[in-house]
Structure 1
């Protein structure tokens, strides 16, 4: 039974029907999978850590002992009441997928303990997965796919959590914060909760974009972002220094290229906003630019036209492919492109 729309998914997680005896929650967003799995588990049993009523398995467990999964689904509760069999299934082995599907089919047909609820939390199962096919089709099994959150979903989650803690962000600050949040829900939620602690739970404070920058502080890959800024601004020596500092901190060539691409995207966003008649300051804010860097970004956005950015976008993709496939030193490839961009920026008059 495939659940697709948000209301029906939230309704199921809040109050799972008694006739549904199994649920598959899967997707590439592992944080969202685990979060939804936790919510559902708490609805099935009073205490998800109760060893008498809860059995927690991993794909490693069933790989080592193929009979264990059905044994757990067959077992009766020692204390009475409903049992929960919870499987963390993030394996990509086709044989294990078929094995889990066989146990799920036996459970759905009533061959095992119907008072046991079988919860499967899985990774990004493909359309050929036997577990996914069975869960999508059987009426006593719920199937929930977890996709990466859209920006609107992230903003909604942030606003709800902030409101629960009686704090808030101004609209400009929320735009910047949402743009900086990772798409992986578990990490995003941790950042939102950390922001609540920074503002002060229960304080009823609303902070603006400048105050938010104090919280955001220096990113782990700040050296790369700084190096990209310097490269696009024709400052070759600082760009090289920042890049090598990032490499010393453990960053790789692909991360360096992502920083360049992120900078390029911000320049395009600024240009698009200004083309619509939006004033320069608002354009940089819409692009998520740190207020202290607004003047430099505007200077670059005016110099780097589409004529120069379009071929650079293609070059970034090709260089990234080389980093991942040719065996050439990725750090050298990235550094060469940074220096090339700085040289081009100088010829543009920056």
Structure 2
């Protein structure tokens, strides 16, 4: 059984189906995979850290002693509780992938210890993975693919984690913090815990954007995001100056092109939502626009069209490819792209 919809995943993690003996949780972001693995383990056994009822194996353990995996799955609980075997894979090695697939197939069919639970946490398994194929076909197994967190997922993680320390963020501060969060779940969680300490655990503080200024500081890439916004706003000189300032801060041409592409993506998302019936301001917020940039972004969104963005998209892709060519003058390529975008913006009346 494949669980890809969030409500189905949350239902299963909070109350695993009785007929499921195995679960495969996989995805590029191992932080999300580990989080969901911890959630499920806590529901399957009383003490996920109990070495008598829980066996935690890595791919190295399986590679060094292949029969051990099925041996652990066939073993009975020493303390009378439910047994769990937790296999953690960090890479897709064909031999380990095949061994895990064979063990999962036998266990899901009830050939080993039918009362044990087999939990597998893996990286980004491809479609040709034997383990993934086997898990998706097995009747007694659940498959949970983990995708990159959306802004809404990160916002919920921030709220829930801060709430444990009796602190929180205002709506504007939350939007700012989420926009600056690293994409990897494990690293993001560390930043949230650091913020809780900064706000004061147990203080019931509601952080504001002003409170976050000292915590977040100024990112080197901030100049690039400013330059991208200036380019789409028709501000030629400011866009060029922003890219040069970012270069002095250590940013490269590809990073500048990426920032321009990200701003284009925000405009495209906002205009698509607006076309579907959302208000423009609502669409801007849904696209991750920080409140301080909202007025300028709305000005741009009223001038740019989806057709114009499609035309400029090809310029962004060409610049990205050119920047990554060995020996290319990547900063000059990025500057030329910014000037091209700014010139198009001016023709649109910006």
The one of 332, 336, 342 aligned to 2:333:
336
Partner of residue 249, structure 2: 245
- Tell me, in whole angstroms, the C-alpha distance in 1 between the residues paired with 2:286 and 2:38: 37
- Tell me, in whole angstroms, the C-alpha distance in 2 between the residues paired with 1:198 and 1:171: 18
What's the CA shift string for 1:122-162, capped at 9, x where partnerless?
12323443322332333322222222333333333333334
TM-score normalized by the length of structure 2: 0.76
Alpha-carbon offset, residue 101 of structure 1: 0.9
- Tell me, in whole angstroms, the C-alpha distance in 2 between the residues paired with 1:257 and 1:134: 41
Any idea what SS the aligned residue of 1:120 has?
A: strand
Partner of residue 119, structure 2: 119
Partner of residue 42, structure 1: 42
The one of 218, 234, 238 aligned to 2:237:
234
Residue 314 (structure 2) pairs with residue 314 (structure 1): yes
- Tell me, in whole angstroms, the C-alpha distance in 2 between the residues paired with 1:245 and 1:220: 6
State whether residues 54 and 84 of structure 1, in contact with CA within 8 Å, keep that contact through their aligned partners in structure 2: yes
State whether residues 175 and 286 of structure 1, in contact with CA within 8 Å, keep that contact through their aligned partners in structure 2: no
Alpha-carbon offset, residue 82 of structure 1: 3.1
Q: How does 1:88-167 map to 2 (within 5 A)?
A: 88-167=88-167
State whether residues 73 and 107 of structure 2, in contact with CA within 8 Å, keep that contact through their aligned partners in structure 1: yes
State whether residues 234 and 343 of structure 1, in contact with CA within 8 Å, keep that contact through their aligned partners in structure 2: no
TM-score normalized by the length of structure 1: 0.76
Distance 1:298 1:190, change over 3 A: same
Q: What runs of 5+ residues in structure 1 fail to find an aligned partner?
A: none
Q: What runs of 5+ residues in structure 2 fail to find an aligned partner?
A: none
Any idea what SS the aligned residue of 1:246 has?
A: coil
- Tell me, in whole angstroms, the C-alpha distance in 1 between the residues paired with 2:303 and 2:181: 27
Alpha-carbon offset, residue 69 of structure 1: 1.9
Alpha-carbon offset, residue 65 of structure 1: 3.6
Partner of residue 289, structure 2: 288
Q: How does 1:4-19 map to 2 (within 5 A)?
A: 4-19=4-19
- Tell me, in whole angstroms, the C-alpha distance in 1 between the residues paired with 2:273 and 2:118: 50
**CA root-mean-square deviation:** 4.0
